[in-house]
Amino acid sequence: MNPLESHRQQQHRQTDGDVVIETANLPEHVLKTVANYQNKASHYLFQISWLEGLSRWTRTKTLPSQFVRYFEKAFDLYDESVQYLLGYLRRQGVSIRCAPGCTHCCCHMPVGISTPELIYLYYGMHRSGVFPKFFRRCMEAEEEWRGILKSCSHLPPDGARDENILEKTLNSYHCLEHYCPFLQENLCQVYPYRPIACRMHFSISSPYWCNPSHFQHDHAIRFNLEPGENVFEALEHLENRLQLKVSDTMVGGILELSINVMKFEEIGWIN
């Protein structure tokens, strides 16, 4: 029995058919290597939280330049841990079917995005050189999202955080096949800056089955490779230091950050 099959026989938190791989069943040497990567990633994130000027950045619209450098290092290490795990799974006979240009999972609405991730994404939107186009697309996606949220709940959008309502809303949004506002010609235009929620999804079945309109969609086999608790704890600690809490949906958070905090200005970086 391959490792993934043993995981599927346990109970997992599921969203639209995805499973979260429990790393507890992996061999000791694999766990140790992954922990090494993620300890280093969380270290860099904690390094950011110790930088000067974080608590007043919403007034100054500036952040230390080390924010970007450390964030890049942390996410690169997380990506390396994912590639290491995928390599291990391949050697165990688990074939990962995802490939560049496959965007069938990009019609989900990413949720659970931390403020630091949104800042990094906002920075990437400006680096791309087409911020106005991305912003307009985010507005369109947010309008679709809020419309579905209202139809799934009698509560106003900002108050509807019940898990059942959220899952129903996520599934309804996915079925609309409203693709990510950052896609262009099936390629993500902010790929290096994408949040964890966009980095951890993988498919064992044909990627086409991930498309919600595909007749085999209900039989697709997908899984998530989430970072360890130490990475999430470091992001939460950094979020507290930044003293800003916006929507944890990707487009909602980006719009709030763009309009209410940055007033569409680029972030200033100081040494």
3-state secondary structure of 15: strand
1 occurs within a structural domain: no
19 occurs within a structural domain: no
Residue 116 pLDDT? 97
Rounded to two decimals, the pTM is 0.87
9 occurs within a structural domain: no
Residue 121 pLDDT? 98
73 occurs within a structural domain: yes
Q: Are 33 and 43 in contact (CB under 8 A)?
A: no
Q: 239-247: which pairs have CB atoms within 8 A and are 24 or more residues apart?
A: 239/114, 239/115, 239/116, 241/49, 241/54, 241/55, 242/54, 242/55, 242/57, 242/115, 242/116, 242/119, 243/54, 243/55, 243/58, 244/58, 244/115, 245/115, 246/115, 246/118
Closest CA to 94 of 225, 226, 216: 225
Q: Which structure tokens are listed for 90?
A: 């391949």
105 occurs within a structural domain: yes
Residue 32 pLDDT? 94
3-state secondary structure of 131: helix
- Block means of pLDDT (10 residues each) for the chain, 271 residues, are 34 43 74 95 97 94 97 97 93 87 90 96 95 96 90 56 77 90 93 95 90 90 90 96 94 97 96 88
22 occurs within a structural domain: no
Domain count, the chain: 1
Its domain, for residue 183, covers 27-270
248 occurs within a structural domain: yes
**What are the residues facing 223 on neighbouring strands?**
19, 202
Question: 């896609």: which residue's tokens?
Answer: 183
Q: What is the DSSP string of 70-114?
A: HHHHHHHHHHHHHHHHHHHHHHTT------TT--TTTTS------
21 occurs within a structural domain: no
Residue 22 pLDDT? 52
Residue 23 pLDDT? 54
Using CB atoms within 10 A of its CB, is residue 67 exposed (0-12), middle (13-18) or buried (19+)?
buried
Closest CA to 106 of 201, 3, 238: 201
Residue 153 pLDDT? 61
